[in-house]
């Protein structure tokens, strides 16, 4: 066996050890920026949510139009399970994403700023995106290797709630490394801050801006968010808009862990089943008042529902420590030497 090939195998083994795929990926690979949610073992707040006994990562921003467009171009040349909603390209409030061509050769492009969150996505769309991420952003038809298995075993399902996160990705044999956050994971990232580290007395804030108040929807103002205040949300130039770019409200409006827009912009799917037939939604949106941004408000919708004020973010495993990286790197090096050769209603 040639040295070059064995080195490639060693790198691939290292990637799998980190929960990543290194082969079969799409040409336009995306990066999901995450923050680490630590302080494991925290208690629930008085509403009964937020306790998580492990460390995890969660998307710093909602999944964006640019990221979702890359997903569509990777797996939706023939859009078998309707990952694209035509309203993505025609709804002037959020547009969005355009589609060109015919089934079998569809291509997709961002309309306007690609940093805005994607909308018109069902819980199933979010689960298929998570599968795609967990499978290493593979390119091809919507099948078990791309969207139908991985974090969730969907196998063509477009209705129902009987789908739970897999512990192990059947495609990689590794622990699932991307998923839709549970309600507790989402809630902790949004509202938790230990009282001993500057948080409220019960370690939970009312708003996901590390505050018990919300000041308004003016960009750059402390504790602000993109919600409906009776007039309109505003963009970076003070002009009326609906969706805003992820993180545009600034670090003074981030959560304790550094997430943006968990309040306002778009409602976000979580993995919790509500009332036996709905999936959870949290955070409010550009078309709802500030009361829907509060920790005290939870809602849900049918998992196949899609609207212009619902999107999602994803969660992932924590980044490995430098010690783990050194250990894995040493294992890969040893392998080379021995062989000599990762809706709501309006």
Q: Tens digit of pLDDT for each residue in 184-200?
A: 999 999 999 999 999 99
Distance CA 256, CA 194 (A): 9
Contact partners, residue 329, CB within 8 Å, separation at least 6: 14
Domain that holds residue 8: 1-18+322-342
Beta sheet of 310-311, edge-to-edge order:
299-301, 278-282, 267-274, 310-311
Is residue 237, in this structure, part of any structural domain at all? no
Q: Say what the pLDDT of residue 229 is.
A: 83
Q: Return the higher-pLDDT residue of 215 and 60.
A: 60
Is residue 10, in this structure, part of any structural domain at all? yes
Is residue 203, in this structure, part of any structural domain at all? no
Is residue 163 a contact partner of residue 181, using CB atoms and an 8 Å limit? no
Is residue 280, in this structure, part of any structural domain at all? no
Is residue 7, in this structure, part of any structural domain at all? yes
Distance CA 225, CA 23 (A): 40
Is residue 111, in this structure, part of any structural domain at all? no
Q: Say what the pLDDT of residue 241 is.
A: 63
Burial of residue 92 (CB within 10 Å: 0-12, 13-18, 19+) is exposed
Distance CA 268, CA 165 (A): 17
**This prediction's pTM:** 0.85
Pull the structure tokens for residue 36: 């680490």
| Number of structural domains the chain divides into | 1
Query: Is the per-residue pLDDT at 9 higher than 80?
Result: no
């Amino acid at each position: 066996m040639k040295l070059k090939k064995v080195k490639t195998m060693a790198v691939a083994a290292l990637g799998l050890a980190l929960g990543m795929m290194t082969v079969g990926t799409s040409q336009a690979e995306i990066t999901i920026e995450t923050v680490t949610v630590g302080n494991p073992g925290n208690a629930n707040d008085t509403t009964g949510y937020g306790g998580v006994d492990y460390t995890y990562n969660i998307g710093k921003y909602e999944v964006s139009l640019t990221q979702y467009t890359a997903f569509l171009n990777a797996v939706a040349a023939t859009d078998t399970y309707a990952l694209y909603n035509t309203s993505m390209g025609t709804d002037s409030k959020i547009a969005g994403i355009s589609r060109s061509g015919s089934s079998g050769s569809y291509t997709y492009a961002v309309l306007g700023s690609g940093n805005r969150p994607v909308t018109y996505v069902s819980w199933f769309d979010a689960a298929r995106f998570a599968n795609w991420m967990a499978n290493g952003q593979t390119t091809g038809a919507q099948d078990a290797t791309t969207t139908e298995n991985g974090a969730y075993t969907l196998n063509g399902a477009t209705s129902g709630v009987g789908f739970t996160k897999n512990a192990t990705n059947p495609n990689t044999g590794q622990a699932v490394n991307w998923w839709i956050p549970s309600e507790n994971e989402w809630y902790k990232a949004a509202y938790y801050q230990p009282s001993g580290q500057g948080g409220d007395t019960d370690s939970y804030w009312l708003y996901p801006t590390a505050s018990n108040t919300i000041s308004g929807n003016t960009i750059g103002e402390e504790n602000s968010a993109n919600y409906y205040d009776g007039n309109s949300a505003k963009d970076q130039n003070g002009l009326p808009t609906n969706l805003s770019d992820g993180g545009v409200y600034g670090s003074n409006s981030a959560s304790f862990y550094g997430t943006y827009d968990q309040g306002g912009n778009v409602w976000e799917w979580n993995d919790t089943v509500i009332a036996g037939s709905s999936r959870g939604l949290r955070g409010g949106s550009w078309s709802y008042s500030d009361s829907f941004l509060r920790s005290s408000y939870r809602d849900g919708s049918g998992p196949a529902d899609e609207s212009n004020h619902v999107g999602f973010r994803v969660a992932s495993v924590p980044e490995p420590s430098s010690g783990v990286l050194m250990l894995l790197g040493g294992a890969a090096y040893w392998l080379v030497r021995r062989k000599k050769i990762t809706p709501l209603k309006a």
